[in-house]
Structure 1
Amino acid sequence: MDWLEFALAGLAFLSTHLIPANPRIKGLLVATLGRAGYGIAFGLLALGLLYWLIGAAARAPYVELWPQEVWMRWVTNLVMPVVILISSYAIAAPNPFAFEGRSTGFDPARPGIVGITRQPFLWALVLWAAAHLLVNGDLAHGILFGVFLVFSLIGMRAMEKRLIRRIGAAEFGRLAAHTSLIPFAAVLSGRWRPQGHPSLLRLGIAVFAWAAVFHLHELVIGLSPAP
Structure 2
Amino acid sequence: MPVLILGLLLWVLAHTFKRMAPGLRARMGDAGKGLVAALILLGVLLMVIGYRQTDFIPIYNPFPGAGHLNNTLMLISVFLFGVGGTKGTLYTRMRHPMLWGTVVWAVAHLLVNGDLASIVLFGCLAIWAFIEMSLINGAGPWLRPVHGRGLKGDAMNLVGTVVIIGVAALIHQWLGHPVFLGNY
Aligned residues: 178
- 1:161 counterpart letter in structure 2: G
Q: Structure 2 length as normaliser, TM-score? A: 0.77
Q: Deviations over 1:36-72 (max 9, x none)?
A: xx48x72x65345224213312322322111234411
SS in 2 for 1:19: helix
- CA drift of 1:80 comes to 0.8
Question: Which of 167, 172, 176 pairs up with 1:217?
Answer: 172
Question: Which of 108, 118, 137 pairs up with 1:131?
Answer: 108
Higher relative contact order (CA 8 A, sep 6+): 2
Quick check: 1:91–1:121 contact (8 Å CA) kept in 2?
no
Q: Structure 1 length as normaliser, TM-score? A: 0.65
Compare the two structures and name the one with the higher helix fraction.
2
Cα 1:135–1:51 shift into 2, 3 Å: farther
- CA drift of 1:112 comes to 4.3
- CA drift of 1:76 comes to 0.8
Cα 1:17–1:222 shift into 2, 3 Å: farther
| 1:104 equivalent in structure 2 | none
The answer for unaligned runs of 5 or more in structure 1 is 94-110, 165-171, 179-193
- CA drift of 1:202 comes to 3.1
| 1:19 equivalent in structure 2 | 17
Alignment of structure 1 residues 34-45 onto 2, 5 Å:
38=33, 42=37, 45=39
| % identical equivalent positions | 21
| 1:113 equivalent in structure 2 | 90
| Distance in structure 1 (CA, Å) of the matches to 2:3 and 2:150 | 49
Question: Which of 60, 68, 87 pairs up with 2:54?
Answer: 60
Cα RMSD between the aligned structures? 3.2
Greater gyration radius: 1
- CA drift of 1:138 comes to 1.0
1:201 aligns with 2:178: no
The answer for unaligned runs of 5 or more in structure 2 is none
SS in 2 for 1:5: helix
- 1:224 counterpart letter in structure 2: P
SS in 2 for 1:17: helix
